[in-house]
Amino acid sequence: MRKILLAAAAPVGAFILTLIISSITLWAFGSNPFSAYGDMLGHAAKLETQVDILNRATPLYLSAVAAAIGFRMNLFNIGVEGQYLFAYLIAAQVGSMFALPQLLHIPLIMITAMAVGGAYAGIAGVLKVTRGVNEVISTIMLNAIAISGVIAWLQQSWQSDQDQFTSTTLGTDPIDDSGLFPDINGLLEIFTRDIAQGKQLTGLLLVAVAVGLGYHFLLTRMRFGFDLRASGLNPFAARAGGIPPKRMVVAAMFLSGAIAGLIGMVELADTAKFPPDPIKGLGFAGIAVALLGRNNPFAMVLSALLFAFLDVSAGILQNTQAATKEIVNIMQGIVLLAAVIAYGVSKRVQEREEARFTAEALAEIDPIGADS
């Protein structure tokens, strides 16, 4: 019980600290923090806003799982951003080239996306194990190569109207309806009233749930997950235990990138093509969600919902004029940094408790060792 309280104390403390700092910030710039928070919470009580939040939380959660797979073995895949955009583009193009029944079309697109994302992340893994290139810098460079170079180029050369170069025609050809992941409004409306304003709850939510469960299953029940955690906790012991370190690095990077490939599928189900200006920044936000949720499949659900709530609230604050909408980005940044520090503190407290517990337990052992 004490342990659970201690584990919960860190994120709760971080959240309270965030509220204090952002309130001071809002107040210092002449906004009323309470009316801003009131607006944010008031809108979040509406069903349509909740659908928006779930639609935002879905890619954030996928992105967080992608980052967490690497983090679990101290592998920092900062390149989720480039991997998902690249996978999104290629998958959209492949999807637009075929007319297939739905049961083949959707898997084709999703498998393409996972393969491309995995392969692109795999480059960083291969460079790390064969050439000793730090994966943080290589994935950042691969981000820049994908986003400012390859995607910008392919976006232009794959657009349908080659004669007219306008910013609105950029991107791939539209995909047939058979390739679009259906929405699950019907599923939600079993429990609620009808969803108004034409909002659609993304079907990828189910995929995200499956990915989360799969990640949990992988870590707790599978050999690969055990190897992954062992390599992260103590690479030397893992190696001595017969876990091939190089293969693990490449495999973890590939898996991380493959999950990253699914992020763009949420938007693709809505736009039916790779748009001129796709949603960016989900990769970096996913890293934050993963760190806040400590790579735990269930805690990351909460942190993805929190980040999604803040993202959606930005639009609401802009409408109500209660505060500058950028305050939500500040709150995300502060809650992340505060949580990261709070986890560090709670880890130290825990270690000290354990040390004391061990010392007490050892003191109680009777020297002959008869009843230990």
Partner 1 sequence: MARLQKLHDVPAWIRWPVYALLGIFLLTVVQSITGTERLTQVSTSREMLRWAVPIFLAGLGGLFSERAGVVNIGLEGMLILGMWFGAWGSIEYGAWWGLVIGMAGGGLGGLLHAIATVTFQVDHIISGVAINILAPAITRYLSDEIWASPTTSPRTTSVGDWDVPFLAGGTIFGWESPDVLLDIGKAEWWFVSDVADLIRGLLRGTHWVAIIAILLVPATTWLVWRTRFGLRLRIAGENPQAGEAQGINIIRYKYVAVVISGALAGLGGAFISTELSGLFQGGNSAGRGFIGLAALIFGNWRPGGVLAGALLFGYVFGLDLKDLDGTASHALLLVNTVVLGAVLLWAVKRRRTTDAVLAGILGSGAFIWWLSADAVPSWWSNILPYVLVLLVLVFFSQRLRAPAKLGEPYRKGS
Which positions touch partner 1 (CB under 8 A)? 25, 29, 76, 78, 127, 130-134, 136-138, 140-142, 144-145, 148-150, 152-153, 284-285, 287-288, 291, 324-327, 329-330, 332-334, 336-337, 340-341, 343-345, 348
Q: How far is the CB of 30 from partner 1 (least distance, A)?
A: 9
Query: Of 211 and 338, which has the nearer Cβ to partner 1?
Result: 338
**Angle at the Cα of 268 from the Cα atoms of 41 and 328, rounded to 5 degrees:** 25
Q: How far is the CB of 275 from partner 1 (least distance, A)?
A: 19
DSSP state of 273: S
At how many degrees (to 10) do helices 204-221 and 245-271 cross?
A: 170
Instruction: Let me know if 113 is exposed, middle or buried by CB neighbors in 10 A (0-12, 13-18, 19+).
Output: buried
Q: How far is the CB of 307 from partner 1 (least distance, A)?
A: 11
Residue 198 backbone class (left: φ over 0; alpha: ψ -120 to 50; beta: rest): left
Other beta carbons less than 10 A from residue 193's beta carbon: 8
Query: Of 272 and 335, which has the nearer Cβ to partner 1?
Result: 335
- Please report which helix (H) or strand (E) contains residue 229, including its range: helix 223-233
Residue type, 108: L
Query: Of 111 and 330, which has the nearer Cβ to partner 1?
Result: 330
The Cα–Cα gap between 361 and 341 comes to 30
Q: How far is the CB of 199 from partner 1 (least distance, A)?
A: 26
Q: How far is the CB of 273 from partner 1 (least distance, A)?
A: 20
Q: How far is the CB of 93 from partner 1 (least distance, A)?
A: 16
Query: Of 112 and 332, which has the nearer Cβ to partner 1?
Result: 332
Query: Of 20 and 137, which has the nearer Cβ to partner 1?
Result: 137
Q: How far is the CB of 339 from partner 1 (least distance, A)?
A: 9
The Cα–Cα gap between 57 and 78 comes to 19
The Cα–Cα gap between 264 and 86 comes to 9
CA 338 to chain centre: 19
Query: Of 132 and 367, which has the nearer Cβ to partner 1?
Result: 132
Query: Of 180 and 336, which has the nearer Cβ to partner 1?
Result: 336
The Cα–Cα gap between 308 and 189 comes to 21
